[in-house]
Amino acid sequence: MTKQMPGELTRQQHLDLYYYMRLNRAVEDAMVKLFRQNKIVGGLYSSLGQEAISVGTCYALEKKDWIAPMIRNIGALLVKGVPPRDIFMQHMAKYDSPTKGRDGTSHFGDLENLHIVSPISMLGDLIPVMTGVAIGGRYLGQKVVTMTWIGDGGSSTGVFHEGLNLAATQKAPFVLILENNLWAYSTPVRRQVPLENLADRAKAYGIDSYIVDGNNVVAVYNAAREAVERARGGEGPILIEAKTFRRLGHAQHDPAEYVPKEMRAYWEARDPIALYEKFLTAEKLLDAAGKKAIDDKLDTLLAAEREFAENSPMPPPEFAEGGVYCTGDDCHKIRAKWERPIAEVTPPKSSVKAVWNVPGFGSGKGSGGADAPIHFGDTPQLVAERPANNGRPGKAAAKPAAKNAPKKAKAAAASASRKGRR
Amino acid sequence: MAGANGGATNGSASREAQITFLEAIRQAMFEEMERDPAVLLMGEDVGVYGGAFKTSEGLLERFGWERVIDTPISESAIIGAACGMSYLGLRPICEMQFIDFIVCAFNQITNFVAKGHYLWNAPAPIVIRGPSGGGVHGGPFHSANPEMYFVHTPGLKVIYPSTPYDAKGLLKAAVRDNNPVLFFEHKFLYRRIRGEVPAEDYTVPIGKAAVRREGRHLTILSYAAMIHTSLEAADALAKEGIEAEVIDLRTLLPIDEETILNSVKKTNKCLVVHEDTKTGGIAGEIAALLCEKAFGDLDGPVLRMTSLDTPVPYAPTLEEYFLPNAKKVFAAAKELARY
């Protein structure tokens, strides 16, 4: 196990990470009970043992940033500010749920306030979508970063590759978290991907990647924080592989008997919450009274949230009809929020000489690769500056963003081994 | 081509110019991008090259690299990225270099884009457009009419125009619509027909069919290139005393039931003509609609004149045999008129 580094996190931030991991687990524990009482309509998926990833990565984002969670990222939803009742009601198909019973589980979003894009069950599709949000945000001058998650299994879909390739060619401010939990339903990762490190996927797109211990929330946070800053700074997309283990079956129905006992035991001894609790206690950031206060807070909160959810009605049958189309301004006022002068993207300022300007391109000196000095005509500012160190570890602290927080950069370097670009 | 110009004029405008179908599409994109900086264009070779058919010629010069984006050959990524952009209030237009390739993005369109509004209240105002249809010897992968895959998907709108006037007006309407709109451009029409379009801004409403020719003996329902074939057949039928009413569906989803039913209630007979293959084509859907809502008005069976249930073959002799033509439409209409 990597030794946990305090980094530059404040005491409150440490406690936030702890609280959200505990909340994540408590929400899921409550849902297991609801499932056993037949109050959950469909399947129930678990992120037991993976809480550090959802929480640590999402906690690295700013409020304006966009996320698109997958099925095992309830922790990210909670960090973003989704109330537990919404998650309960989604699973219970209640009328007060965000989708009013039209979809379940974590399949919901919020375009207006929380900036959450709803997933679909087909894996990988969020990658080009969040690439689009990233490009769109850049176009509007919003300086937002987008983040989504994918599993080891989902990293083999075609759209994973199409999406990451587009993100890389566009230098989209996008961070992809690859949760390698070793199992895609019943198939072990080595039967899906012939790579030891799935972070190596990034090499194919000329983007940087990190490998991080997914059960160490501080390591996850530090890697995500650095990736988010770099993406926001114009360095393009970054892939983070978080190594972890799916402690339960694919969903509640699956006893996961195909998982070897030793493997389960190995990972159960590395529970991310237990590890973090030990760390916080040793660092004197949390004591018995503090823990008790969090226990009580969670009990009270979840009892109320659960009560609200249980009292919500099922949707009226006829609600199945309608709502297929947006009917116009009365339904949705669709307006882009410009945070740059519109004059920059309208003629005459937007007008360009439409020719490729490619010094050295095709000269046989490797100029077709990621470092080819391709300028898009007369708007070279669109091509972000590459870091002088070519993305290798060690020099990150010299970058302006990291300069302000040297301790944190050091912590990231210690806890997350960086993969070079090539 | 018979009827092309007649169909293109809608009357009112002051200074009208004769332009090609392709130019109408280019103008629609140009004017929408001029009107609204939230409108972008993405696709393969749409920028410097101006599109494989030159539908986006000049757009990059005017609107720049951020608004006219040459993408990798990744249809799913194009649609997915457009969907993501639309969540920020942008209105991207995606070009499929040939509409045949739209099926590479099938999941992204049918599961992500189409279902968003119903499921989680997320409209995706994007336009997906590209050259479709046969008759130009493009072979099985450059001649497709894949509209019905999408007409079967709630949440999408599907447009397939037949005239420059409609192409321009409907494409503008599609860009301004808050829903994902698929816009099929029959490539046989690109440079073969010309029509008048008004100088000023206009739109054509989505979901409204147009009566291209009035008649009382039977109704021919069609769309896209087959409108021109149907009008040619109608001229020949008129010489034999059969007055066919020709209706251009223009929008396939949502379909204009009212115009269809009104016409069939008048003529009592209906022939549906389309270039799409027969099984699962919109003709079957229209036949079912007429059975449900106009059964008592029908004096004969609803007939279908469509392409064969095969892939689009390459050799000119085979493709001509495969496609409907004015002669075949004429024969089918004559048979129907006998009832």
For residue B39, what is the domain's CATH number?
3.40.50.970
Pairing of strands B194-198, B16-20: antiparallel
* B109 and B66 inside one domain: yes
Of B175, B198, B221, which one is at a domain's C-terminal end?
B198
User: How many angstroms separate the CA atoms of A59 and A37, rounded?
Assistant: 33
* B146 and B273 inside one domain: no
Asked if B83 and A67 count as a contact pair (C-beta separation under 8 A), the reply is no
* B165 and B312 inside one domain: no
pLDDT tens-digit readout, B225-252: 999 999 999 999 999 999 999 999 999 9
Q: What is the pLDDT of residue A355?
A: 87
| pLDDT value at B15 more than 70 | no
Residue B204 lies in a domain: no
Q: To the nearest whole angstrom, how far is the Cα of B282 from the nearest Cα of chain A?
A: 20
Whether the CB of A46 is below 8 Å from some CB of chain B: the reply is: no
Q: Which of B64, B79, B179 sits opposite A379 (nearest CB)?
A: B64
* B39 and B66 inside one domain: yes
Asked if B246 and B295 count as a contact pair (C-beta separation under 8 A), the reply is no
pLDDT band at A68 (very low <50, low <70, confident <90, very high): very high
Determine the residue of chain B that is closest to A131 in CA distance: B81
Contacts with A134 from chain B: Cβ below 8 Å:
84
Q: Which of A108, A138, A325 to mutate to test the interface with B (most CBs of B within 10 A)?
A: A325
Whether the CB of A204 is below 8 Å from some CB of chain B: the reply is: no
* B261 and B146 inside one domain: no
Q: What is the mean pLDDT of residues B108-129?
A: 98
| Contact at CB, A326 and B60, closer than 8 angstroms | no
* B180 and B264 inside one domain: no
One-letter-per-residue 3-state SS of chain A: CCCCCCCCCCHHHHHHHHHHHHHHHHHHHHHHHHHHCCCCCCCCCCCCCCHHHHHHHHCCCCCCCEEECCCCCHHHHHHHCCCHHHHHHHHHCCCCCCCCCCCCCCCCCECCCCCECCCCCCCCCHHHHHHHHHHHHHHCCCCCCEEEEEECCHHHCHHHHHHHHHHHHHCCCEEEEEEECCEECCEEHHHCCCCCCHHHHHHHHCCEEEEEECCCHHHHHHHHHHHHHHHHCCCCCEEEEEECCCCCCCCCCCCCCCCCHHHHHHHHCCCHHHHHHHHHHHCCCCCHHHHHHHHHHHHHHHHHHHHHHHHCCCCCHHHHCCCCCCCCCCCCCCCCCCCCCHHHHCCCCCCCCCCCECCCCCCCCCCCCCCCCCECCCCHHHCCCCCCCCCCCCCHHHCHHHHCCHHHHHHHHHHEEEECCC
Asked if A140 and A102 count as a contact pair (C-beta separation under 8 A), the reply is no
Of B198, B231, B259, which one is at a domain's C-terminal end?
B198
Whether the CB of A120 is below 8 Å from some CB of chain B: the reply is: yes
Q: What range does the domain containing B220 cover? A: 210-337
Q: To the nearest whole angstrom, how far is the Cα of B160 from the nearest Cα of chain A?
A: 19
pLDDT tens-digit readout, A341-378: 999 999 999 999 988 876 666 666 554 555 554 555 44
Q: Which of A162-171, A412-421, B40-49, B87-96 has the lowest mean pLDDT?
A: A412-421
Phi-psi region of B229 (alpha: psi -120 to 50; beta: other; left: phi over 0): alpha
Q: Could you give the percent of chain A with pLDDT greater than 90?
A: 82
Q: What percent of chain B is helix, strand and coil (3-state, nearest 5)?
A: 40, 20, 40
User: How many domains does chain B fold into?
Assistant: 2
pLDDT tens-digit readout, A236-280: 999 999 999 999 999 999 999 999 999 999 999 999 999 999 999
* B75 and B117 inside one domain: yes
Q: What is the pLDDT of residue B34?
A: 98
* B82 and B186 inside one domain: yes
> What integer best gives the mean pLDDT of chain B?
95
| pLDDT value at A108 more than 70 | yes
For residue B260, what is the domain's CATH number?
3.40.50.920
* B175 and B235 inside one domain: no
What residues of B are annotated to the active site? 142
Of B148, B175, B198, which one is at a domain's C-terminal end?
B198
Asked if B204 and B251 count as a contact pair (C-beta separation under 8 A), the reply is no
| pLDDT value at B288 more than 70 | yes
pLDDT band at A418 (very low <50, low <70, confident <90, very high): very low
User: How many angstroms separate the CA atoms of B211 and A55, rounded?
Assistant: 59
* B234 and B165 inside one domain: no
Q: What is the pLDDT of residue A395?
A: 34
| Contact at CB, A351 and B40, closer than 8 angstroms | no
Q: Which CATH class is domain A11-320?
A: alpha beta
* B16 and B143 inside one domain: yes
* B19 and B124 inside one domain: yes
Residue B203 lies in a domain: no
Q: What is the pLDDT of residue A8?
A: 82
| pLDDT value at A4 more than 60 | no
Residue B205 lies in a domain: no
User: How many angstroms separate the CA atoms of A86 and A83, rounded?
Assistant: 6
Residue B275 lies in a domain: yes
